[in-house]
Amino acid sequence: MQQTIYKNPSPQIKTEPPGPPTMPIVGNMIDFGRNPLGFYTYCARTYGDVVRLQFGSGQSSYLISNPHTIEEVLVQTGRRFAKGYQGDRLITVFLGNGLVTSEGDFWRRQRRLAQPAFHRKRITGYAEVMVAYTHRMVDKWRNGQVRDIHSEMLYLTQAIVSKTLFDADMQENAKTVGDALEAAIMEYGKLMTSVFHHVLSFLPFQITTPTEQRLLEAMQDIDNVVEQIVEERRKAPGDRGDLLSMLMEARDEDGTGMTDQQLRDEVKTLFLAGHETTSNTLTWTFHLLMQHPDIVQKLEAEVDQVLGDRTVTLADLEQLTYTRHVLDESMRLYPPVWAISRQATEDVEIEGYTIPAGSVLQMSQWTVHRDPRYFDDPEAFIPERWETIRADLPKYAYFPFGGGPRLCIGNNFALMEATIILASIVQHYQLEALPKQEVALQPAITLSPKGSLYARILTRTT
């Protein structure tokens, strides 16, 4: 039976949703491939809140940009919608069958197992590690030095997630993982936007292209590190009270635990989802701050007033409201996850259109977060807007962490971590942009800067 997901307030008989012209076989791939962020935004602004797109063979895609519809789709995931990643070879290479990609009862069980590690009480215990590791990083910074902030943030968040969730020290592996991840994201970005790769997917047999091969090799380096984490724990088991212990000790009703493969996929998922996104948030935040000295001044004033010379503690976070608004605004302009999708498992009606089962619904944070209907002066970086905007804003006009049952499990972890790191750095350092540095966007599964983001480190003098 067809279900109404979101009724248009002024109903009218509608046929196919409007959309950009398509080309035979490649559909909209060429335009998407050239500039995924720009293409989605163009489609939403030109054709409206439901836009028909064509990417796969016979599979319809729709770009959904109405916050109420997005809410309905996300909330009804697991009933009328699935994540739909199971057949996606590329995402599976990245994340295996872990929390992000799995479905149904298997996902429910894994989420139930992991959830206690993210309870508010539990994550407050992680604050000390976040503070200590940030200090360990900045202790190496020297006045006047130029550093790549993108990799600094990547190594830092990687070390924090490994220590807090898996009680593992990543110092030795940080560079290997950082390099592999950067390579994997770049290759993934190429594949995601490649018309050639898209056409190959129509073939009844599988061909591994050189780009895919490079992606596989990069992921192998990450798999090796994950395997090492699991192996080391197997050698020295025992309850350390962390997420890895919980996953390893979990038993089904029949007494069976997770297989090694399941464990590795889950650790890899949490490790990758748990650091690259937060690292991007911080990198984009510094990129924005370096262009807005007035905002830096306000931020420093708040941090100085709340912390003085003290090291940040959990109790300070509530008072660091401007710091938090800087992060909210940064995630609005540069959402670390720039689009998510769901697959309809039955025919549904959306805003008066019939959307057939099997269709993929795309929802783009990048596009909605910059929609002038919800944000005044949407391209501008204005942290102050968050002082007043929340009450009027439709809930899903801002959804950096997704929503519904598949809401990011690490959202509170990430916000706490980003606030601690930002405040700790701003307290002692100013970051200065290097002249003529171009910062390009790399939209893959996440939205990172392409390559490095260099900054000159200046010690603050008071």
Q: Which residues would be at the binding site for ligand HEM (CB under 6 A)?
A: 83, 99-100, 111, 161, 269-270, 273-274, 277-278, 281, 336-337, 340, 400-402, 406, 408-410, 413-414
The least CB distance from residue 416 to ligand HEM, in Å, is 9
Q: Which is nearer to ligand HEM, 184 or 337 (CB)?
A: 337
Q: Which is nearer to ligand HEM, 14 or 111 (CB)?
A: 111
- String of DSSP letters for 251-314: --TTS----HHHHHHHHHHHHHHTTHHHHHHHHHHHHHHHT-HHHHHHHHHHHHHHHTTSPP-G
The least CB distance from residue 49 to ligand HEM, in Å, is 19
Q: Which residues of 185-219 are buried (b: 16+ CB within 10 A; e: fewer)?
A: bbbbbbbbbebebbebeeeeeeeeeebbebbeebb
The least CB distance from residue 61 to ligand HEM, in Å, is 15
**Quick one: 225 exposed, middle or buried, by C-beta within 10 A (0-12, 13-18, 19+)?**
buried
Q: Which is nearer to ligand HEM, 166 or 322 (CB)?
A: 166
Rounded Cα–Cα distance for residues 335 and 279 (Å): 12
Rounded Cα–Cα distance for residues 154 and 47 (Å): 38
Locate tokens 């998922």: which residue?
269
Q: Which is nearer to ligand HEM, 408 or 421 (CB)?
A: 408
The least CB distance from residue 206 to ligand HEM, in Å, is 25
Q: Report the 10 Å Cβ neighbour count for 12.
A: 6
Q: Which is nearer to ligand HEM, 101 or 173 (CB)?
A: 101
Tell me the two tokens of residue 383: 């942290």
Tell me the two tokens of residue 200: 């190959």
**Residue closest to ligand HEM, measured at CB:** 410
Q: Report the 10 Å Cβ neighbour count for 292.
A: 16
The least CB distance from residue 400 to ligand HEM, in Å, is 5
Q: Which is nearer to ligand HEM, 343 or 430 (CB)?
A: 343
- End-to-end, the C-alpha distance of the chain in Å comes to 67
Rounded Cα–Cα distance for residues 278 and 162 (Å): 14
- String of DSSP letters for 332-364: HHS-SS--EEEEESS-EEETTEEE-TT-EEEE-
The least CB distance from residue 137 to ligand HEM, in Å, is 17
Q: Which is nearer to ligand HEM, 5 or 26 (CB)?
A: 5
Q: Say what the alpha-carbon torsion angle 243, 244, 249, 250 is, to the nearest 10 degrees.
A: 60
Q: Which is nearer to ligand HEM, 17 or 336 (CB)?
A: 336
Q: Which is nearer to ligand HEM, 83 or 264 (CB)?
A: 83
Chain centroid, CA 383 distance in Å: 20
Q: Which is nearer to ligand HEM, 127 or 340 (CB)?
A: 340
The least CB distance from residue 404 to ligand HEM, in Å, is 8
Q: Say what the alpha-carbon torsion angle 314, 319, 320, 326 is, to the nearest 10 degrees.
A: 130
- String of DSSP letters for 89-105: HHHHHHH-SSTTT--HH
The least CB distance from residue 411 to ligand HEM, in Å, is 6
The least CB distance from residue 277 to ligand HEM, in Å, is 3
The least CB distance from residue 161 to ligand HEM, in Å, is 5
